[in-house]
Each structure stands twice: as structure tokens, then as C-alpha cells.
Amino acid sequence: MSPMHIIVRRCGSAITYALFISIYFNFLQDQLGWDADSASLFYSFLLFSNQVFALPAGIFGDRFGFKPMMVVGCIIDAICYLALATSPGVFVAISAAVGIGIGGCLFSTNARAELLTASHGNKREAARQQGRFLRWTNVGSLIGPVLGLLVLQHNNYTLALSVSAAFEVALSIPLILGWLRGGTREKSSKITKLTLLDIGPQRKSFIKLHLWAFIPVGLASSAPILFPYIFTNVVSSPDDNSIAQLIRNIVVIVLQSWASQALLIEGKLSRILIACSMLTFCIFILAFLFPYNSMIFGLSALFGLIQVFTTTAIYNGIVLIGSTERQATFFGASKLLLSASTFIVLQAIPLLMIWLSQNIQPLSGVPLHSVQLVIGMLVLGCIAVISHSGRLQKDES
């Protein structure tokens, strides 16, 4: 099974998932007659299952093989989309939500491990493949909401869910054929306990990396909270939030492949994570100091850069300290830890924004182009430093 098959499958899966997320609320209310609280509960079950099952998904992959678990994840997704298309009752709908979370987790966790295995110990190639995986995930996440708008305009939820199920099955065929050609039996490890202690002798480095990433990853995930708040309560232009989101996603897509190579710098990832945290706090302050649309758009682009650096740093860190026998367990444990830390950090973000809105007054009389110039220089400086560090690491190796 070639890495390209896995990446194409991931892009397609990201499209169907993003499409579903963009229409699920309206689907549950308009077609199933749910109220807003029940719809929120549905999404909570989906998110909870996707995060909590990360570690078991990784351990099952190491135990039974990455390819079988990826195929199982694809089949679960297709069945759940098809079940929702039949306008089910509450129990079946909630079960489908849990299934979509588990199916996506089974595929993504073991796909990362499969890509790491396919690099045959070449860390630069492993980082390149992980970067492509992230990039095409972001591309799919950008296409999905666009398709969702078309579905919402025509209110044809059943057709959209049925097509999503068929699309999942079609994308799974190359994976199944590749698995069958390569033999259905894979070497499995002796991991039998669902515990973080099974991530192997690299446990100390693994935990240290995630302690450094605790706050940076949480802050980098706060864009869906920060920018809607700014555009709604400070700038009084809520419709422009979608433009800022588009700008941020484009920055992430364009820079992802480059960042995956540039951030393969062992021993310096903690500095990058600290710098990203400091930059994120600067964005929060600047957004309240200069609440102008053009300024917020520029900050959104900078936020996209921070997202790329933070996400790439944590996954490249796993590549650098990765185990040869527990790849899927590493990725699953990482997702579980980051989900917990992100949840904790995000609870503090609204409080931080309220405090900033009460204690920071917008500045007047400062030329806006001067501030934008400073931000531009800051962005270019970050890129130059990372690029130089990457060249140094390459020369040393």
C-alpha cells in the first residue's frame, strides 16, 4: 500500500467529515426534529469518542496491524453515514456519532503509523510524509464546508449522507486491495494492556515533549473561539469571521509541507513551542489594541503560521523519538494527551478574552500600516529563524 493511497484516502475522509460537521446541526434539527441541546449532545459524543479512543486505536493497530485497523475504520464511517441517512431514532443517531468518532480515530492513528513505517527509519522522509498527511487533511477540511453550503441551500441531507457513505467505501477499495496483496497477516507486537506505560523506553522523552506542548497546542487551537469573539463583540462584523478562517486555512495549507521539513530539528522543538505561545499571546493583545478588519485578517494569517509550527513541532517530535514497535500507540497516546490538555487550556480562553476586553482599550492615532509592517517583519523573522535552524540541523547530520 503506497503512502499516496493513504494520503488520498485521508483527504477524502477529511472532506466527508468536514461536510458532515457543517450540516449536522441543521440536519438534526430540520430532519430529525432535535432541539439545540440535543444536537450539541450529539457532537459531544462524536468528539468524546474520537479523542478517548485514540490510545486503544493505536494499541489495536500495533497488536493486529495498521492496515486492518484502517480498513475497519473506513467501514465503520461508511456504515454510520448510511445509518444517519435513514433518519434514525435517537439511540441509532447517537451510536452513529460515536461510530464516526471511533472510525476516524482508527484510520488516522494507524495511517500515521503506517506512513512512519513506510519511511524505513528515514526521519526526514517520515517528516515529509507526515507533513503531506497534515496538508491534505487541511485541504479536505477546506473543501468540506464549501460542499456543506450547497447541501444547506437545497436541504438534501439524505443524499449528502448517502454520497458520503459511498465515497468512504470507494476510497477504501485501494486500501483493501493493498492489504490483500500484501497479505492479511501482519507482524503484531506483544502489547496487550491499554496503558501509557506501553509507549516503551522513550516514555520520558515522550512525556517531556507533551509537557512542553501543553499550553502551545491549546492556544493554537483557540482560533475558533478568539476570532468569532473579536469579530462579533469588538469589530461588530461577525460575517467577516469566515474570511479570516479562509485566510488562516490557506496559510496552513501553503506552509505545511515546508514546515514539516524545516522543523525536523531535534533539541530545538521546545524553543519553537515556547515562541509560539508568546506569539499567540501577542495576537490576543494586538487584536484588542487594533480592532480593525484588515488588522484582524493579518493576525489571522499569523495565527495560521503559529498553527503550522505548533502542530508540526509536536508530530515531528514524535517522529524523532518514535519507537520502531509502537508507532500507532505513540500517535494514539499523543492525541489523547493533547486532547485533554487542549480542553483544559480552552476553558481559560473565554476568561482571558473577557479580561482583555475589560482592561485593554483600542489605541488611536497609531498608523495602521506601521503595525502591519511590524507583524509582517515578525512573520518573516520567524520563517527565517526556522529555515536557518533546519539548515543547521541538516548540515550537522
| DSSP assignment of 101-168 | HHHHHHHHHHHHHHHHHHTTT-HHHHHHHHHHHHHHHHHHHHHHHHHHHHHHHHT-HHHHHHHHHHHH
Sequence-separated (6 or more) residues with CB below 8 Å from residue 207: none
Q: Does residue 188 sit in helix, strand or coil?
A: coil
pLDDT at 219: 86
Q: Which residue, chain included where needed, has cell 503484531?
A: 188
pLDDT in tens, the chain (397 residues): 577 888 888 899 999 998 898 888 888 888 888 887 788 788 878 888 888 888 888 888 888 888 889 989 999 999 999 999 987 888 898 999 999 999 999 999 898 888 888 877 777 787 788 888 888 888 888 888 888 888 888 888 899 999 999 998 988 888 788 777 765 445 444 444 545 445 555 777 788 888 888 888 888 888 877 888 888 888 888 778 778 888 888 888 888 878 877 776 666 677 788 888 888 888 888 888 888 888 888 888 888 888 888 888 888 887 777 655 677 777 888 888 888 888 888 888 888 888 888 888 777 655 555 555 556 656 665 655 555 444 444 443 4
Cα distance between residue 18 and residue 2, in whole Å? 25
Neighbours of 135 (CB within 10 A): 23
Q: Are 118 and 3 in contact (CB under 8 A)?
A: yes
Sequence-separated (6 or more) residues with CB below 8 Å from residue 96: 80, 81, 83, 84, 88
pLDDT at 386: 54
SS3 content of the chain, % helix, strand, coil (to 5): 85, 0, 15
Q: Model-level pTM? A: 0.75
Burial environment of residue 246 by CB neighbours within 10 A (0 to 12, 13 to 18, 19 or more): middle
pLDDT at 183: 54
Cα distance between residue 136 and residue 140, in whole Å? 6
Q: Are 22 and 149 in contact (CB under 8 A)?
A: yes
- Widest CA span of the chain, in angstroms? 70
pLDDT at 82: 93
pLDDT at 365: 56
Cα distance between residue 215 and residue 250, in whole Å? 24
The C-alpha torsion from 110 through 112 and 117 to 123, rounded to 10°, is -160
Burial environment of residue 92 by CB neighbours within 10 A (0 to 12, 13 to 18, 19 or more): middle
Cα distance between residue 227 and residue 172, in whole Å? 36
Sequence-separated (6 or more) residues with CB below 8 Å from residue 151: 19, 22, 23, 157, 160
Cα distance between residue 140 and residue 137, in whole Å? 5
Angle 158-10-58 from CA coordinates, rounded to 5°: 110
